[in-house]
Amino acid sequence: MSTLKIEKKLLIHSVILSIAFSIVGVSAGLLAKSQMIMFDGLYSLVSVILSYLSLASARFMAQSDWKKFPFGKSIVEPLVVIVKYSAILLILSVSVINATYTIFQGGITVDTDTALLYSLFSSLACLLMYLHLKRKSKKHSSMLLTAESSQWLFDTYASFGVLITFALVFFMERYQVLTGLLPYIDPLIVILMAASFAKVPFVSIKMALRDVLGMSPEGELANRLSDLITEIEEKYRMKESFLRVTKRRKLLRMEIDFIVDEHSLVQTIKEQDKIREELERRLTPIKTDKWITVSFTSNRKWAV
């Protein structure tokens, strides 16, 4: 089964489970009068829309219409990631505003028993779904599945946060400890959870923007490619070389321009193709789709 088909199958499962969680979460939140559970349920509700967006993008990318998209559709995935994480940031912001308002209004009394039952169920279910999607995303190097697993990771954190909080509230009520703080715990934890969740969306949006803007990759891959081109340049006595690289989803796109002169060991088309073959062979260990353009010129202006 191809990666795109696996993505679509898993995203469908995620959508179905998100619908179930949104219904259960919102209902339990209203019943328990808990902003934390409402936060969890509303997040699942928005996740349904976001998961469907991922599914639609996976279907779109699976369509073979290279005439309309001669350079592929790899830009779709980072755009989807930006939309998804922007929506998550919006949810977090609205939750913080509502929780802050509740604190200033004197807090809220929560049905602890209902909250505990829901949070225990939600914590275990979300954790299992996150681990499943995380394993699949690593196996298939899928940014869409990685983003989807991140959504379930947020849900897992939220659910465990709810579970721990209401376990604490249960014991405080039972043993009459700091009862004056009880009305404020629910909205306060919402604020703390939202603040702790915010880092991943910001980082993910930043990375996706790099893909959309076509920025060069950083780190080990960039150094590895630069060293390879420098080695080829010296081996064949090129006068100069220019390397342009972008990486989007599973597509590594490289444009390499070699400047040759009368001393270079590349003077014929056959010799140029030999270098192309060597580059292809030495880039094979990099496990990703590649789009490589190699050009040779004796005039530097055509490479700059």
Q: Return phi, psi of residue 161, to 5°.
A: -60, -45
- Same domain as 167, residue 27: yes
- Same domain as 163, residue 50: yes
Instruction: Write out pLDDT tens, residues 287-299.
Output: 777 888 999 999 8
Instruction: Quickly state the pLDDT bin for 71 (edges 50, 70, 90).
Output: low
- Same domain as 194, residue 146: yes
Instruction: Please identify, among 213, 241, 256, the residue that sits at the C-terminal boundary of a domain.
Output: 213
Instruction: Please identify, among 160, 191, 213, the residue that sits at the C-terminal boundary of a domain.
Output: 213
Instruction: Quickly state the pLDDT bin for 195 (edges 50, 70, 90).
Output: confident
pTM flag (> 0.85): no
Q: How many domains does the chain have?
A: 2
Return the CATH number at 131.
Answer: 1.20.1510.10
For the chain, helix, strand, coil in percent to 5 are 70, 10, 20
The boundaries of the domain holding residue 251 are: 220-302
- Same domain as 196, residue 88: yes
Is the pLDDT at 252 greater than 80? The verdict is yes
- Residue 215, helix vs strand vs coil: coil
> Residues 86-103: what's their mean pLDDT?
87
Is the pLDDT at 261 greater than 70? The verdict is yes
- Same domain as 27, residue 143: yes
- Residue 290, helix vs strand vs coil: strand
> Residues 181-191: what's their mean pLDDT?
83
Higher pLDDT, 55 or 137: 137
Length of the chain: 304
- Helix pair angle (35-62, 76-104), 10° resolution: 170
> Residues 129-151: what's their mean pLDDT?
78
- Same domain as 232, residue 208: no
- Same domain as 207, residue 229: no
Instruction: Write out pLDDT tens, residues 117-138.
Output: 888 888 888 888 888 888 877 7
Percent of the chain with pLDDT over 90: 14
Closest to 155 (Cα-Cα) out of 200, 100, 186: 200
- Same domain as 262, residue 295: yes
Side chain identity at residue 29, one-letter code: G
- Same domain as 238, residue 201: no
Return the CATH number at 227.
Answer: 3.30.70.1350
Note the maximum CA span of the chain. 90
Instruction: Quickly state the pLDDT bin for 66 (edges 50, 70, 90).
Output: low
- Same domain as 232, residue 144: no
